[in-house]
Amino acid sequence: MKNITITIFIILIVVILCLYFASFQVRETESALVTTFGKPKRVITEPGWYFKWPAPIQQVYKFDSRMRVYEANLGETTTKEAVPIIVNTYVVWRIAEPLQFFNANERGSVSEAERKLLSHISDTQNRIIGQHNFGEFVNSDSTKIKFEDIEREMRDDLNINQNIKGRYGVEVKTVGIKQLKISEDVSKDVFARMIADRDRKTEATKSEGEAEAISIKSDANSIKIEILAAATARAKAIQAEGDAQAAKSYKLLEADPPFAIFLQNIEAIKATLEKNSVIVLSADAYPFSLLREIPVLVPRDPNESK
Amino acid sequence: MTKQNREDNKDLQLQSPEKGADDKLDLGFQYLSNALRLSFIALKLIMIALVILFLASGFRTVGPDEEALVLRLGKIRGVGEERILGPGAHWVFPYPIDEIVKIPVEKKVNLAINSFWYYQTGQEIVSGTKRQVPPTQPLNPVRDGYCITRSEKQSAEIAGVDGSDYNIVHSKWQLTYQIVDSESFFRNVYVGDIKPGQDYFDVITRSINPLLKAVFDDAVVTAMVHYSIDEALSSQDRIPNHVKKLMQQKLAEQMNSGIEVVSVQLTDITWPRQVDLAFQAFITASNDKEERISKARTYTENTLNAAAGPVARELFAALHDETVREQEKDLLWSRAAGAAQATIARARAYATKVVEDAEADAEYLNKILPEYRQRPELVIQKIHRDAVVHVLEKADKKIMIQRTEGEGGREVWIRVGED
């Protein structure tokens, strides 16, 4: 019994050891290359469990096939019309072909691959940017800006024209420009222009403000004048209506015009001397004449009046 | 396992009678045997414990803000939704059969982007001062960060160039992102190996931040060239949304990264310090303009109110509108206030008075006419006297003059009824 246990145990250990030396896993994120005596034999891109001959005969090299970002340095280049610009390009790349990657880079070294990629990036960058005008990077007309197209062209140039996949087993997913700058000297010119621009706008704003304020005020005044004129016209109409209505009553005065005029004159005098008046009268004038002499009055015969 | 245990125990029991016989032969051998037996038991216990531990190591918990994938022999286990394990406890085969990969899906990560800001010394950053810089000091392309914005449309026309004039602007941003698709993220985005003692979340964040920074910078540069400096300075959400869209496009469409941009915030934006004076002057001018206009508006309000009250504008519009009916206009006039209303009210009062006076005159004449026809002199006398009395009563000053007869005569003035 004891022997069986030990035997099973030993077999188990041997099996595990065999599996350890003669099989390997390829993770979902990896690809692998199996070499026999140093020569590439098998490329594995599907994840799973694989067998191989133990160590000295076959060896496995695994490559992380996920996307990595690599940034080139800030570099000066020129556009089609020879405007110097400074750009910083980055690429997002992955190992796509394990065999080519292994062959091109010493035992699949990532840093070596990046070094090689760098020269291609600057090459592509200079060439593609050299095919475009500066106005395709920056333009007051949005439709003329080709920024994203330029980035796409750079990616395609790396993948297709420079054939980095065939050469290094590397695929570029994205190329982007993460800094777009200008030289120090040009920046000074830009400041001068910005200041001139701003000064012009400041002046324009000042005069605009003045003009607008004036126009608002004059609008107000003309509205006011027009309303008041309309109000006056309306008032006149109302007065005229009143006069017309009053004229109807004057017809009744026709019964004795001179008397009516007399009454109106009396009223007029009363009204005009209503307030704050100083009256200067001759002593002969009524009623002060009574102070000077008594009128001669003769009583009438009561019958005579009848 | 337990069965095997029992078998082992039987082995031990079988040994014990033998040991009883050996006892007399060699005491030392018995001790040795005992020691061996004990260590054998201990070894077995340790092995059992190890097996249990090995199996127990398959238990994994997935936190509330995580998802997990299981790699069985390197391949993602399961189909469809089963591929992703949600929060809770899970059992997987221990290494090397299964491997659990946790992805922090619900964790939002903030990333401050200062790569578009001018260079500041440590002291300047701490004190928050904005140093005055003359326009002759250039921007260093390595040290100073900035974006290029397009020029104004009209200034391009004035300059007569092809519209490729540009301005410089500095900005600071904050990016918030989150992993949303754990499988795409795991498959496609490089993450450094997690070494013992490291937090996997830190490792992931540290691994992907350079990628996100690069894509973000790219999106900012690409977006900014579409805006003028004034648009950039005053844009509330337009530019951040544009940046977000561009970034999302790259992350999702070009890379299938499983990362989503939660939000993009423009935390600060300013013109270069070199042009500060000109921009400040412009702001002052703009404020002046606003103030002038608002003053003019106030003047308008006051003027119109004084002219006709709140209905002034309506009234003005009605005066110019042929389609407005007279009734409506009358209604508006009746609601008018101010000078217009006063003018009309005066006219109304006049009209009323004129009519009333005329009526009163007519009535008076009518009443007095029969009497007058009978005794014209008396009636006239009476009316005249009443009028004189009335006038004299009302007069403030009454002066009587007596002129002596003939040339060189003197006048005597008498004031009457003065206090």
Choose among B75, B153, B344: nearest Cβ to A238. B344
Give the model confidence (pLDDT) of B323-378 as tens digits.
888 888 888 888 888 888 899 899 999 999 989 988 888 888 888 888 888 988 88
For residue B298, the model assigns a pLDDT of: 94
Asked if residue A1 has pLDDT above 80, the reply is no
Alpha-carbon distance of A134 to A127, in angstroms, equals 14
Q: What value does the CA radius of gyration of chain A take, rounded to a whole number of Å?
A: 56
Asked if residue A190 has pLDDT above 70, the reply is yes
Give the model confidence (pLDDT) of A14-61 as tens digits.
988 888 888 899 988 999 999 998 888 889 988 989 998 887 889 899
- Mean pLDDT across B104-108: 88
Q: What is the number of alpha carbons within 13 Å of residue A93 lying toward its C-beta?
A: 31
For residues A41 and B19, the model is more confident at A41
For residue B154, the model assigns a pLDDT of: 55
Task: Give the pLDDT band (50/70/90) at residue A134.
Answer: confident
For residue A2, the model assigns a pLDDT of: 64
For residue A306, the model assigns a pLDDT of: 44
Alpha-carbon distance of B165 to A250, in angstroms, equals 85
- Mean pLDDT across B225-234: 88
Q: Which residues of B254-291 are buried (b: 16+ CB within 10 A; e: fewer)?
A: bbbbbbbbeebbbeebbbbbbbbebbebbeebbeebee
For residue B22, the model assigns a pLDDT of: 53
ipTM score assigned to the predicted complex:
0.76
Greatest mean pLDDT range, A24-33, A99-108, B305-314: A24-33
The overall average pLDDT reported for chain B is 83
Q: Do B369 and A259 touch (CB under 8 A)?
A: yes
Choose among A137, A176, A235: nearest Cβ to B347. A235
- Mean pLDDT across B20-43: 78
Asked if residue B255 has pLDDT above 80, the reply is yes
Asked if residue B247 has pLDDT above 60, the reply is yes
Q: For residue B96, what is the nearest residue in chain A, using CA coordinates? A: A25
Asked if residue B145 has pLDDT above 50, the reply is yes
Set of chain A residues whose Cβ sits within 8 Å of the Cβ of B348: 238
CA distances from A252 to A71, A243, A260, A263, B356 (A): 110, 15, 10, 14, 14
Residue A235 · residue B344 · CB < 8 Å: yes
Residue B183 · residue B128 · CB < 8 Å: no
Q: Do B226 and A142 touch (CB under 8 A)?
A: yes
Asked if residue B24 has pLDDT above 90, the reply is no
pTM of the model: 0.73
Weakest mean pLDDT among A49-63, A124-138, B50-64: B50-64
For residue B260, the model assigns a pLDDT of: 93
For residue B308, the model assigns a pLDDT of: 84
Weakest mean pLDDT among A85-99, A276-290, B188-202: A276-290
Q: Do B397 and A90 touch (CB under 8 A)?
A: no
Choose among B155, B217, B355: nearest Cβ to A246. B355
Asked if residue A250 has pLDDT above 60, the reply is yes
CB pairs A-B closer than 8 Å:
396
